[in-house]
Amino acid sequence: MYTLVRTIGLIPGPATEAFQVALEITEYLNKNYSTNLKVFIPIFTTLSKVAWIGNYENLSIIEEINRKLRTDQGYWALVAKMGEKVIEGSGKDELFQSL
């Protein structure tokens, strides 16, 4: 089992709008790619961040989704909608394997 965690830092002003777009991205991916993503925001901190967390049976599922996303215009439209709200260079992906 693998868990993928993707985080991005948000510009403080439009954070609430960014949270809504993060939910839209999550809904889109879960509907179109049968993922089980959930979106999280931190509490008890002054930083604005969003984290997407999903669990996958094997790495080939992650690879296949990434391959399809490269040409998915609907996905990229949502990413562009989020773009102005993200701190440039703040994205981070972490992949965990269960023991």
The span from the CA of 35 to the CA of 64, in Å, is 12
Strand pairing of 2-9 and 92-97?
Answer: antiparallel
Task: Look at residues 95, 88, 85, 82 and name the one whose alpha carbon lies nearest to residue 29.
Answer: 82
pTM greater than 0.85: yes
The span from the CA of 49 to the CA of 41, in Å, is 6
Six token digits for residue 58: 């094997």
Confidence label for 47 from pLDDT (cuts 50, 70 and 90): confident
User: What are the pLDDT digits (tens) for 17-26?
Assistant: 889 999 999 9
pLDDT score for 61: 94
The span from the CA of 21 to the CA of 49, in Å, is 13
Max CA separation in the chain (angstroms): 40
